[in-house]
Amino acid sequence: MSEENNCKEKEVSETEFPVRYAETDAMGVVHHAAYIVYFEEARSQYMRDRSKDYALIEKSGYRLPVTDVKVRYVGSLTYGDRVNIRAWITENRSRKITFNYEIRSSANSRILVSGSTSHTWTTLDGKVTRAPSLWLNF
Amino acid sequence: MSEENNCKEKEVSETEFPVRYAETDAMGVVHHAAYIVYFEEARSQYMRDRSKDYALIEKSGYRLPVTDVKVRYVGSLTYGDRVNIRAWITENRSRKITFNYEIRSSANSRILVSGSTSHTWTTLDGKVTRAPSLWLNF
Amino acid sequence: MSEENNCKEKEVSETEFPVRYAETDAMGVVHHAAYIVYFEEARSQYMRDRSKDYALIEKSGYRLPVTDVKVRYVGSLTYGDRVNIRAWITENRSRKITFNYEIRSSANSRILVSGSTSHTWTTLDGKVTRAPSLWLNF
Amino acid sequence: MSEENNCKEKEVSETEFPVRYAETDAMGVVHHAAYIVYFEEARSQYMRDRSKDYALIEKSGYRLPVTDVKVRYVGSLTYGDRVNIRAWITENRSRKITFNYEIRSSANSRILVSGSTSHTWTTLDGKVTRAPSLWLNF
H or E segment and range at residue D36 = helix D34-49
**How many A-B residue pairs are in contact by the CB < 8 A criterion?**
41
The per-residue pLDDT for C133 is 83
Sequence-separated (6 or more) residues with CB below 8 Å from residue C125:
none
Q: What is the pTM of this model?
A: 0.94
DSSP annotation string for A33-58: THHHHHHHHHHHHHHHHTT--HHHHH
Average pLDDT per 10 consecutive residues for chain C, totaling 138 residues: 59 96 97 98 96 91 97 97 97 95 96 98 95 76
- Mind listing the pLDDT tens digit for each residue in B12-27? 999 999 999 999 999 9
Query: Are residues C55 and D80, on separate chains, in Cβ contact within 8 Å?
Result: yes
| Rounded distance between C-alpha atoms, residue D132 and residue A43, angstroms | 40
What Å distances lie between residue D90 and B17, B33, D109, CA to CA?
A: 37, 21, 22
The reply to whether D25 belongs to the active site is: yes
Question: CA of D126: which chain B residue's CA is closest?
Answer: B27
Query: Are residues C18 and D37, on separate chains, in Cβ contact within 8 Å?
Result: no
What ipTM did this prediction achieve? 0.92
- Mind listing the pLDDT tens digit for each residue in B63-90? 999 999 999 999 999 999 999 999 999 9
The per-residue pLDDT for D10 is 73
The per-residue pLDDT for D1 is 39
Which residues of chain D does B34 touch, with a Cβ-Cβ cutoff of 8 Å? Answer: 33
Confidence class for position D4, pLDDT limits 50, 70, 90: low
Type of residue numbered C58: E
The per-residue pLDDT for A133 is 83
| Sign of the CA dihedral with B42 first, then B46, B49, and B52 last | negative
Q: Yes or no: say if A87 and A103 are a contact pair by the CB < 8 Å rule.
A: no
Q: Which chains touch D (3 or more CB pairs under 8 A)?
A: A, B, C
Q: Yes or no: say if A35 and A115 are a contact pair by the CB < 8 Å rule.
A: yes
Give the residue among A88, A65, A45, C26 at the shortest CA–CA distance from B82: A45
CA distance A131 to chain C (A): 18
Domains of chain B: residue spans and CATH? 13-136 (3.10.129.10)
Query: Are residues A32 and C37, on separate chains, in Cβ contact within 8 Å?
Result: no
Q: Residue A6 pLDDT more than 70?
A: no
| Beta-bridge partner residues of C82 | C18
* Residues across chain C: 138
Confidence class for position D57, pLDDT limits 50, 70, 90: very high
What is the rounded average pLDDT for all residues in chain D? 92
Q: Yes or no: say if A27 and A75 are a contact pair by the CB < 8 Å rule.
A: no
Q: Residue D136 pLDDT more than 90?
A: no
Sequence-separated (6 or more) residues with CB below 8 Å from residue C53:
C44, C47, D80
- Mind listing the pLDDT tens digit for each residue in D74-109? 999 999 999 999 999 999 999 999 999 999 999 999
CA distance A37 to chain D (A): 13
Coil, helix or strand at residue D136: helix
| Rounded distance between C-alpha atoms, residue D63 and residue C124, angstroms | 46
Q: Apex CA A86: angle with CA A80 and CA A90, to 5°?
A: 155
Query: Are residues C79 and D21, on separate chains, in Cβ contact within 8 Å?
Result: no
Give the residue among A124, A1, A107, A117 at the shortest CA–CA distance from A58: A124
Question: CA of A34: which chain D residue's CA is closest?
Answer: D22
| Backbone φ/ψ region at D37: left (φ over 0), alpha (ψ -120 to 50), beta | alpha
Pick from A33, A68, A72: CB nearest C37: A33
Coil, helix or strand at residue D89: strand
The per-residue pLDDT for C2 is 45
